[in-house]
Structure 1
């Protein structure tokens, strides 16, 4: 019995030893497989990055099992020669194996956030240059000068003429961008520095007048006849109030404009005449005869119209040939207009839209019609249906004085004083002439008039 029990004990110990040896071998094989994967001898199997994997079909299961068996065969063949699978690894290899599973698998390279930011930043200058294409450097300089003068973006929008027609919102956005956007302000400053000095001077000459400047100009009397020396003295006495680019000629032109619109301190606004009733649209519609609106084809009328057209074209050709003989020239007033006087112009009747050059000692004012031709056609300035065909006459006397005689039905206002029909009044330099709500400034060529007076003084003693 003792021998039998001893045999059973030995067989159990041997079985347990073999079982433990097989478990050790399997664990060593797993460690070797893990170490070989960590060292890169076995290629890593690609797997999906999704958390939930879909179910595989039968053919996919067979292919995956074959792939696993092939990787195991490669792993077994990838063991270093001279070392058996059953041999125990060294202490240094155990340390490497123990450290290998703890090393995390390097994640797939994600797009760096700096690249996206760089791409976004690269798009910003494109938008800035696109915006700069609409806002010119001259517009930016005009905007800055106007805001410094008025401190009001609404006044800037109404008073400044930019290269494009900007809305009030666009002007506000541009001003805030110049203040607070570093990219736009830097590009705008660089563009403004590249402007030509003459362009900068032209832009500064168009700066709006501030309230302080207009208040100083309004103190100059309307009855006085200020010269350039008067405005130059005003600039010297108030250098801080006026803009740096102001000149005496610019102050004189703005003072004449203020006088024309009764903005001086010693001027009062004249009330509108109450006797005349303005014809509204409904009254004019009632006066229309519907029977005359029918389209009736008349061959005789068409023939008369063609003959009249030929006659008018012939008259136009004659007028074009006699252009150099005209006594009064009319030209449009623009920002870069020619000087008011030349060697042949005695005086100028200057309005908002046109100006009339007086080159003879006597000219007639009024409304030109087909049957009545006059020297100065006031209908070119504005609505002249209230003006008579021959409203008045301007004459130059031998002593160098200009007089205007009213020959129409409506009064003519000279510096606010009415000149009735049949009466006359002396015209001085910078006098405001108002005829039926049309205002003009009468300017005298002082140099030419002085020569005329000198010649008259030489003739009188003889």
Structure 2
């Protein structure tokens, strides 16, 4: 046999050996799976050969934590938390299972009840415990326990104890029942209360409510007497079992004074209200006060200030009386209302809604006044005049007593509704309406003065 045939034979033998070995391994693995399924230790599940692990969602994480906490509380250590919640085993658990020899006997574990997983999902007790522990602090629990032991009444505890936050009566009742009957909450609350500082515990114990037995012993102290701290200290020594362990003589004295204020001592009686007579109220008592009997204290500084203020006001009144005629002119100019009679110097009046312009010369200019342009009649005092030219027009009095208006601006002037364009003029009569850029005026003529002017003109003309 040559070398080539010998090498081919060796390679075929090696291939057949590896194939037989792989078949043996597969048969062993099948036997392992069959034995494990018969014992009920490892549930049958499908897996992929790829190294990919699916992430758990939030609800699965919560369910697994709930299952773990419930198994710890119930003490069922035989059932694994991961199997109870139905979550996938980790990769380390897979390796441990695969590496376990097949010949080692696996103890049968009790199969979980079919409804256990659903009950664990619906249970929200650990979440509620966490919420309650976050709101109820250890100091509140200690206050609650001390107050209930003193009064044996949850309503009195709710009304008389000041917790870290405002709890309702139902919340106080539920917390007290949880401390009594819930082992998880009771254990956690006791552990938290043991971690409190001794000074904090002493401060909480000093706020404990007074029991009925304590108030009964305090009520025996007379209201007319003047008890001292030694009196209450002696009361503590004579009745050590009746009083709370954190009571001091000073605390007893403060509570006794409070009871005395509300007439709760034995020798105190509350006077009944009169039945037949009318009860005196505040207004009746105020009417009975005689004002003449009240002391009137003189304040020299206040009297001096009042005198100075009175003098100042009288001076301002005299000044206003002297300026009254000036204010009258201003009122007439604003309202546009004046006496119907003209004075001897006014030829005509251009009266608007707000301002009254007097024409006391034979020629006046109309327009909008600026810094560089001064005119006789500033139409901007009447209203918005931004459309009016700086020199809008001129009103002239002729020798024969006629008034004419000439337009020298860009926009037309309307006389009784007729437009007067730029460069044109129009005769004004009495009660003519002059409209310039939406501002309206009434032109009034002093007829008496104009008649005299016409008479003088007639006398001069024949000569």
Q: TM-score range by the shorter chain?
A: 0.3 to 0.5
Once the two structures are superposed, residues 256-314 of structure 1 have per-residue CA deviations (whole angstroms, 9 ceiling, x without a partner) of 00111111111111234679978999999999999999999999999999999999999
- Structure 2 unmatched runs, 5+: none
Distance 1:61 1:274, change over 3 A: closer
- Whether the 8 Å CA contact 1:346–1:449 is kept in 2: the answer is yes
Tell me how far apart the structure 2 counterparts of residues 186 and 81 of structure 1 sit (CA, whole Å): 23
Distance 1:282 1:199, change over 3 A: same
- Structure 1 unmatched runs, 5+: none
Q: Does 1:42 align with 2:33?
A: no
Once the two structures are superposed, residues 39-82 of structure 1 have per-residue CA deviations (whole angstroms, 9 ceiling, x without a partner) of 99999999999999999999999999999999999999999999
Distance 1:269 1:145, change over 3 A: same
Question: Which deviates further from its counterpart, 221-230 or 322-331?
Answer: 322-331
Tell me how far apart the structure 2 counterparts of residues 323 and 52 of structure 1 sit (CA, whole Å): 103
- Whether the 8 Å CA contact 1:364–1:390 is kept in 2: the answer is yes
Q: TM-score, normalised by structure 1?
A: 0.37
Provide the secondary structure at the position in 1 that maps to 2:185: helix
Distance 1:16 1:134, change over 3 A: closer
Question: Displacement of 1:247 after TM fit?
Answer: 0.2
Question: Displacement of 1:124 after TM fit?
Answer: 3.5
Distance 1:296 1:17, change over 3 A: same
Distance 1:238 1:87, change over 3 A: closer
Question: Displacement of 1:189 after TM fit?
Answer: 0.7
Question: Which deviates further from its counterpart, 173-182 or 427-436?
Answer: 427-436
Question: Displacement of 1:135 after TM fit?
Answer: 1.0
Question: Which deviates further from its counterpart, 296-305 or 180-189?
Answer: 296-305
Distance 1:459 1:372, change over 3 A: same
Tell me how far apart the structure 2 counterparts of residues 154 and 259 of structure 1 sit (CA, whole Å): 24
Once the two structures are superposed, residues 426-460 of structure 1 have per-residue CA deviations (whole angstroms, 9 ceiling, x without a partner) of 99999999999999999999999999999999999
Aligned to 1:219: 220
Aligned to 2:69: 69
Once the two structures are superposed, residues 311-366 of structure 1 have per-residue CA deviations (whole angstroms, 9 ceiling, x without a partner) of 99999999999999999999999999999999999999999999999999999999
- Whether the 8 Å CA contact 1:350–1:441 is kept in 2: the answer is yes
Aligned-residue CA RMSD (Å)? 38.3
Once the two structures are superposed, residues 170-199 of structure 1 have per-residue CA deviations (whole angstroms, 9 ceiling, x without a partner) of 111111100000111111111111111111
Once the two structures are superposed, residues 89-125 of structure 1 have per-residue CA deviations (whole angstroms, 9 ceiling, x without a partner) of 9999999999999999999999986983796499543
- Whether the 8 Å CA contact 1:205–1:245 is kept in 2: the answer is yes
Provide the secondary structure at the position in 2 that maps to 1:49: coil
Once the two structures are superposed, residues 367-399 of structure 1 have per-residue CA deviations (whole angstroms, 9 ceiling, x without a partner) of 999999999999999999999999999999999
Provide the secondary structure at the position in 1 that maps to 2:125: helix
Distance 1:35 1:280, change over 3 A: closer
Aligned to 2:5: 5
Q: TM-score, normalised by structure 2?
A: 0.37
Question: Displacement of 1:144 after TM fit?
Answer: 0.4
Tell me how far apart the structure 2 counterparts of residues 192 and 247 of structure 1 sit (CA, whole Å): 23
Matched residue count: 462
- Whether the 8 Å CA contact 2:350–2:444 is kept in 1: the answer is yes
Question: Which deviates further from its counterpart, 83-92 or 108-117?
Answer: 83-92
Higher alpha-carbon Rg: 2
- By relative contact order (CA 8 Å, sep 6+), the higher-ranking structure is 1
- Whether the 8 Å CA contact 1:41–1:78 is kept in 2: the answer is no
Matches within 5 A, 1:249-264: 249-264=250-265
Tell me how far apart the structure 1 counterparts of residues 158 and 435 of structure 2 sit (CA, whole Å): 30
